[in-house]
């Protein structure tokens, strides 16, 4: 079996994390997700929540700074986090086959490892339901919609700043699956099948 | 089983047609592809090759006309073909579950039928190999690359003119699969699995 790593990029609220964990369990692999945040926090001294907000999305202030170009010429905390994120994800990949959820792992590892690059997305309705009822990160109604739109923008902006890829553009993935249509179990099943096919070559 | 129709949009040279036919065979459904061209030709009186060039991509002249806005205010032959294409695809869908390859069927049927919307894409290298060695639509080398780029542009422009969708944007599909990574058989297998899941609900 080849040393192939599964990277799961995902829209906010699309259940990408749950799918990643299910894939890892089926394949008997490690799934790295929040551990990456913990490791960055440990090595940087930043608070874990601060790392979470700045390791995949721009923070509120970072978002506006990126629009105005304010932080183009300074090495920001977010840049420090990016450097550590790159180092930690590369170290995790070196250990062998695994599943890595988010954190631009697809971009960070693309020239170094054989990857199965997955993108998970979902309908806004399902995402709103998930972020309100499951993640408890927004109140139902207008608040949740605003939260979703803002998060989508910040994640896309982060990709613009740190990679030369466009978030969600099929060119950068091997498969893009809607968890709304397919459900978590079928998505996980399809990814394990694709992994079996790719590693059997 | 619900009356669900599978639409397969695909990048030029990505083997979407072969995948569509394999899916239809597995599910015991009709696969509509070149029959649509034949029917439009019969009903319009246009030559079948002329219909093929104007039923999914803009022709060379149509492409430049669309850029300059030349044909914005006239009812062109391509518009006639679009009207017939819409009518014929809707008639085919009315017959029951089937697979329809290309021809903007996903857009034409989106508010009328339950759809499984698939997008197939592939690496340029594989697409060039396919259009030169299998389709024999271009000579290897520079010619094939130019042919591919021109065809991609014309297909995207056609979508811009006749739909409010962006060709290849994941928002408009239930699954997007790379035939380069997954291969024709695995793509077909995954689509049939997704169809089983969707129609079982």
Q: A152-177 pLDDT, tens per residue?
A: 998 888 888 889 899 999 999 999 99
Q: 3-state SS string over B82-99?
A: HHHHHHHHHHHHHCCCEE
Q: Do A175 and B173 touch (CB under 8 A)?
A: no
Tokens of A152: 């989508």
Tell which A residues from 121 to 140 touch B, by Cβ distance under 8 Å. 121
* Residue B6 bridge partners (DSSP): B99, B116
CB B162 within 8 A of CB B82: yes
Pairing of strands A4-10, A98-101: parallel
- In this structure, of A65-69, A115-119, B103-107, the range with the lowest mean pLDDT score is A65-69
Provide φ and ψ at A76, rounded to 5°: -85, 170
Burial class (CB in 10 A: 0-12, 13-18, 19+), A142: exposed
- Of the pLDDT bands very low, low, confident and very high (cuts 50, 70, 90), residue A143 is confident
Count of CB pairs separated by less than 8 Å, A with B? 64
Q: pLDDT at position B48, please? A: 86
**∠A128-A130-A132 over CA atoms, to 5°?**
70
Cβ neighbours, 10 Å, residue A101: 25
Q: Is B141 helix (H, G, I), strand (E, B) or coil?
A: coil
- Of the pLDDT bands very low, low, confident and very high (cuts 50, 70, 90), residue A116 is very high
Q: Does B167 touch chain A (CB under 8 A)?
A: no
CB A85 within 8 A of CB A104: yes
Q: pLDDT at position A188, please? A: 97
Cβ neighbours, 10 Å, residue A111: 7
Q: Does A167 touch chain B (CB under 8 A)?
A: no
B170 to chain A, minimum CA–CA distance in Å? 7
Can you list the pairs that A46-53 forms with residues at least 24 positions away whose Cβ atoms lie under 8 Å?
A46/A77, A46/A80, A46/A81, A50/A77, A51/A81
Which residue is it, tokens 């498969």? Answer: A175
CA-closest candidate to residue A126, choices A64, A182, A192, A67: A182
Minimal Cβ distance to A194: which of B171, B182, B197: B182
Q: Do B186 and A168 touch (CB under 8 A)?
A: no
Tokens of A142: 């207008």
**Interface predicted TM-score of the whole assembly (ipTM), two decimals:** 0.89
Q: pLDDT at position A172, please? A: 96
Tokens of B127: 């697409």
Q: Is B8 helix (H, G, I), strand (E, B) or coil?
A: strand
Q: Is A171 helix (H, G, I), strand (E, B) or coil?
A: helix
H-only helix segments in chain A: 16-27, 34-44, 48-54, 60-68, 77-94, 105-108, 124-129, 142-162, 179-200
Tokens of B28: 């015991």
201 residues of chain B, pLDDT tens digit each: 568 999 999 999 999 999 999 999 999 999 999 888 888 888 888 888 888 888 777 655 554 555 554 455 567 788 888 899 999 999 999 999 999 999 999 999 999 999 999 999 999 999 999 999 888 888 887 789 999 999 999 888 888 888 989 999 999 999 999 999 999 999 999 999 999 999 987
- In this structure, of A78-87, A89-98, A135-144, B118-127, the range with the lowest mean pLDDT score is A135-144
Q: pLDDT at position B45, please? A: 86
CB B164 within 8 A of CB B104: no
Residues of B in contact with A198 (CB under 8 A): 181
pLDDT digits (tens, 9 = 90+) for B62-82: 545 555 544 555 677 888 888
Q: What is the mean pLDDT of residues A15-33?
A: 96
Q: pLDDT at position B73, please? A: 56
pLDDT: is A72 or A163 the higher one?
A163
Interface mutation target, options B6, B14, B170, chain A, most CBs of A under 10 Å: B170
Stated as kind and residue range, the H or E segment containing B179 is: helix B179-200
Minimal Cβ distance to A121: which of B170, B190, B197: B170
Rounded to whole angstroms, how far apart are CA atoms B1 and B27?
12
Q: Do A175 and B193 touch (CB under 8 A)?
A: no
Tokens of A19: 């799918």
Q: Do A170 and B119 touch (CB under 8 A)?
A: yes
Residues of A in contact with B119 (CB under 8 A): 170, 176
Tokens of B150: 């021109």
Tokens of B41: 């030709």
Burial class (CB in 10 A: 0-12, 13-18, 19+), A169: middle
Rounded to whole angstroms, how far apart are CA atoms B152 and B158?
10
Task: Output the DSSP codes for A86-116.
Answer: HHHHHHHHHT-SEEEESTTHHHHTTTTSEEE
B30 to chain A, minimum CA–CA distance in Å? 23
Q: What is the mean pLDDT of residues A172-188?
A: 97
Q: Does B191 touch chain A (CB under 8 A)?
A: no
Minimal Cβ distance to A197: which of B176, B186, B197: B186
Q: Is the pLDDT of residue A15 over 80?
A: yes
- Of the pLDDT bands very low, low, confident and very high (cuts 50, 70, 90), residue A49 is confident
Q: Do A178 and B183 touch (CB under 8 A)?
A: no
Q: What is the mean pLDDT of residues A130-139?
A: 88
- Of the pLDDT bands very low, low, confident and very high (cuts 50, 70, 90), residue A2 is low
Residues of B in contact with A174 (CB under 8 A): 178, 181-182
First to last CA, chain A: 9
Interface mutation target, options B189, B190, B196, B201, chain A, most CBs of A under 10 Å: B190
Minimal Cβ distance to B175: which of A177, A189, A193: A177
First to last CA, chain B: 9
Q: What is the mean pLDDT of residues A173-193?
A: 96
Interface mutation target, options A114, A119, A181, chain B, most CBs of B under 10 Å: A181
Q: Is the pLDDT of residue A198 over 80?
A: yes
Burial class (CB in 10 A: 0-12, 13-18, 19+), A32: buried
Residues of B in contact with A148 (CB under 8 A): none
Stated as kind and residue range, the H or E segment containing B182 is: helix B179-200
């Amino acid at each position: 079996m080849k040393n192939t790593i599964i990277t799961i990029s995902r829209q906010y609220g699309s259940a990408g994390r749950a799918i990643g964990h299910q894939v890892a369990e089926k394949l008997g692999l490690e799934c790295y997700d929040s551990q990456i945040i913990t490791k960055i926090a440990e090595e940087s001294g930043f608070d874990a929540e601060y790392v979470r907000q700045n390791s995949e999305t721009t923070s509120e202030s970072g978002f506006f700074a990126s629009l105005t170009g304010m932080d183009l010429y300074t090495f920001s905390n977010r840049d420090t986090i990016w450097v550590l994120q790159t180092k930690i994800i590369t170290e995790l990949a070196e250990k062998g086959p695994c599943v890595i959820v988010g954190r631009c792992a697809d971009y960070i590892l693309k020239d170094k490892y054989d990857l199965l690059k997955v993108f998970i997305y979902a309908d806004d309705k399902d995402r709103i339901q998930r972020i309100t009822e499951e993640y408890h990160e927004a109140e139902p109604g207008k608040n949740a919609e605003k939260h979703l739109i803002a998060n989508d923008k910040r994640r896309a902006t982060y990709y613009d700043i740190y990679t030369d890829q466009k978030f969600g553009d099929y060119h950068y993935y091997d498969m893009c699956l809607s968890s709304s249509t397919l459900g978590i179990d079928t998505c996980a099943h399809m990814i394990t099948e694709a992994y079996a096919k790719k590693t059997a070559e």
